[in-house]
Amino acid sequence: MLTSPDMEILIVEDEIEIAQLIQLSLEQEGFSCRACHDGLTALHVFQTQPPDLIVLDLRLPGLDGLELCARIRQMPSPKDPYILMLTAKGEELDRIIGLSTGADDYLVKPFSPRELVARVRALLRRSLRQIGITHTYNTQHFTVDLDQRTAYRHWEPNQSEILDITTLEFDLLSTFISYPGRVWSREQLIDKLWGSDFFGDERVVDTHVARLRKKIEPQPTNPRFIKTMIGIGYKFEDPPVQ
């Protein structure tokens, strides 16, 4: 069973019966859960005790899910949680906007408890896979420390800055840097980052690549490092350094 006693999940859902169903389904699998029913309360909970993952409904009273997602991604926090957004059928545009504001995956209502648990496991698996790994990867312009989960951009030989990137962006960058020059299909990146339990749209890869480019590329519209391989996927180009 893929659980960890240190992993905490925050459920943000205004329909109390659905929130209770989600909490029961996750707690039966060994996860530690808290629930709240509006965006402002969720924001306060996040500030006082940030979770490892948030199950976030798109439609919330007061502060909706999109705005809450955007605020969480902009706030400094000791944790950068994965966000699984819940949407209703027909909210395709909102799902795309949600991914662009920082959601890691989405689940369409109505959903089965089994599918929910699979999505949560797929997201948390990326954190659990890092336990015990102490590698550092270096290229000419970047350093990624998998132990400390920090990434640096080297502008000059003696001038570096730490990159302000999300958990998923770190995983994406470290995947690219650990295999410089390799061509990745969207399917391969999904399997690497989300695992075989992923149920979402392949476009989630394009969304997160675009967000990462804005943070590491001198000219994001004309990328130097993350190259698009038309009809295939992406390739990272930066010479490795021993």
Q: What pLDDT digit, counting tens, does each position of 81-107 carry?
A: 889 988 876 666 566 666 667 788 888
Distance of CA 42 to the CA centre of its chain: 18
* Chain region(s) in the chain for CATH 3.40.50.2300: 8-128
Look over the chain and give the mean of its residue pLDDT values, rounded to a whole number: 83
> Residue 148 gets which letter from DSSP?
T
pLDDT at 1: 42
User: Any idea which of 13-22, 162-171, 196-205 has the lowest mean pLDDT?
Assistant: 196-205
Instruction: Count the neighbouring beta carbons within 10 Å of the beta carbon of residue 242.
Output: 3
* Three-state secondary-structure class, residue 36: strand
pLDDT higher than threshold 90 for residue 173: yes
Q: Worst-scoring range by mean pLDDT, 100-114, 177-191, 192-206? A: 192-206
Q: What is the pLDDT of residues 26-78, one digit of tens each?
A: 998 888 999 999 999 999 999 998 898 999 998 898 888 888 988 888 887 77
- From-to residues of CATH 1.10.10.10 in the chain: 136-236
Interatomic CA distance for residues 16 and 225, integer angstroms: 46
The CATH label, of 3.40.50.1100, 1.10.8.50, 1.10.287.110, 1.10.10.10, for the domain at 136-236 is 1.10.10.10
> What integer is the mean pLDDT of 187-216?
82
Specify the pLDDT at position 98: 62
pLDDT in tens, 101-141: 778 888 888 888 888 988 888 787 765 444 444 478 889 99
Task: Name the token pair of 95.
Answer: 């799902």
Please state which architecture CATH assigns to domain 8-128. Answer: 3-Layer(aba) Sandwich (3.40)
Three-state secondary-structure class, residue 52: coil
pLDDT bucket at 20, cuts 50 / 70 / 90? very high
Six token digits for residue 111: 């959903």
Tokens, residue 27: 């707690």
- pLDDT recorded at residue 223: 94
Give me the pLDDT at residue 130, please: 46
Contact (CB, 8 A) for 173 and 164: no
% of the chain residues with pLDDT over 70: 84
